Structure 1
Amino acid sequence: MSGSNVLNIGIDLGTSRSVIACDNGVRTFISSIVGYPKDAISKKLLGKDVVFGEEAAKNRLALEMRRPFEKGMLKFSNLQDLSSAEFERYKGVARDLLHHLVGLVRKESPQAQVVRAVIGAPALASTQNKKTLIEITKGILDDVMITSEPFAVAYGLGILNNALIVDIGAGTVDLCRMSGVIPTEADQITLTKAGDHIDEVLLDLIKTQHAEVDVTLNMVKRVKEENATISEKGERVMALLPIKGKPTSVDVTDALHEACRSIIPDIVGGIRSLVASFDPEFQDSLKQNVVLAGGGSQIGGMARLIEAYMQEHLGYGKVSRVEEPLYAGANGGLLLCKDMPSDYWDELRKD
């Protein structure tokens, strides 16, 4: 197939945001939210059968809101816990989201006859989880490969040896050690305390510390994304929240710090596990090159506090952050998609 007739894509279907990067130069993201009109009035108001991203969030009172990948759903959860009807519903919502996301970039390359993609999945996603993701892509993508999200980050950055990638998403935190070969299951860990966990802890803390405040999980999420920090330096964080209908300035500094810190012990525990089970002669190399990616890596002071925890539990550690946390996974998926030989895609299509 001629290169000009192939559109290569890297996709990160995140719990909070879905990101896409293409070799036609287009890349974008949307919130991983899908909304369906509740009734005839809401459908007339919106003028469409399905709404995505921020448009859905702004009109959420008129919509049945769905987050297809919440709490690792479809990508990491135990699918045995879902009823058949519930499972198919989540798959349908995910298909709608993927179709919309690919459509945003496909229109820029109308001549493309083949659309192939590499999609990131949690580090320890099961075979069934990966199969489900592939099923979602049918009729939308011609060729698809599922890869580990932190591996995609590492591949895109060219960090293929003596490094440990920590991808902090909303639904999962995925860790992957790189040693110059394709990582195995033993090289990776998936943790379920991630960005959504921070939101839930922050909501509980605000309600406990300020019982009179009327606040929702969506409001707390916005406060976190606009102010997230675990640094003790800087100004107090004041959030404008309603009390008996009146917007009131509320000090959420301590609650925000505590909530953001809540995921760090598990992350450092994961780092310690991967370091301790590695070749002793190369353990120091891993500790010296821990790389944070994903939306959670943007929390102010996160890298420094992980270093402090590593100092306490592992002797020392050096932690850095990727330059483009939002696009790192999709960029790596795109590069991997382009680098895979044509023979690989041909064999994949036969299967």
Structure 2
Amino acid sequence: MDRQMIAKKQHIQAESYLVYNILRSGEIECSNTLEDEFDPELPGQALIYRPARQHIYSLLLEDNKDACNSCPIIKEWFVYFGNQLKHPELVQPIQLDIPGGTPSLRTLWLSQEAGVQSQRYDTFLACFHLQTEREELQALDNSRAALCCLLLYLLGQVDAFSLEDVNAFIAQTLCLQGKSVAQLSGLKLTHVDSRAVHLGSLFVRGLTTLILANNACGLPFRMDDLMAWKMFDGKLFQQKYQQSHRGCPVEELLEGNKCWLTEFQNLKSLICKACLKNNRALQSRQRGNEFIRENRRWDSSFQRPHQSHFAPSFHNPNQGHHWRGFGPGSSRFETGPSGRGYKSEEQNQKKRRFQHTPRWPR
């Protein structure tokens, strides 16, 4: 059966995410986001996950290569601050680094041969450059493995991720187990931290990227294991984020449940060892509260001209490591100073606010 027909069937049955759009039209869009435009340390979600998407595009379009062995360009309509979505960005797929070459979609999607499920898993990890962590990840429950995959990818892309952030994500995933809807909705927060909102939105967007990769790789994970309700609740994450950055002990983060302590330490150890292996210093960095106040002005417009102060991280297949700069097949972004202490003149004159963009007509 033709791969586009397979993708269409899965799309109609809601068993696939975005794969059919990419195969049919070579175009993909995400015209909504929730992020803090004036936090220079946390770049736009579209830019953070672009390197992973480039690998997924390459996997899906492997059979469409031209005489120069290049995959077709993908048109991306992804919103982030400064991008008014007047024109699509032209993104070049990037070849996966898999020993023996990239498996065909026919193999990944249809084959029932022994060993193919292992190929699916390896291909999924390759989309996020996590092949070296295969043994440790495969020993975990699927939802825990997905959590670690996402956190490790984010740690490789965003320098501002701290040990407190990792602790908060792990703790809220563990504490989410067994909590009822009533318990979650009844959580009391004295305030809402803006950075925690941004991180939570970034995490959920990452789950959709995991789902896209999972579909493209022939479902190495059960789809249910990648659903947000398995590992994330925004209100609970706010609580754990604030506790973690106040320096609360692990026992308090885990609500006194000793059964979760060993799992917390194991997941944290896996992430710290992987960071050490990849020369990523995971440091403690407690932050003060960044309240969202009721009188803060909200603005859903992306109309003001603005250039991102983030140079996106891309993988250079010729060097085998991540580097910050202008990635292959991607638009150039004006770079500038970064760090929490940096504020542009425009930023000093305006209050920090979130951007929640509507769907844009084209």
The TM-score normalised by the length of structure 2 is 0.26
Structure with the higher fraction of residues in strand conformation = 1
TM-score, reference length from structure 1: 0.27
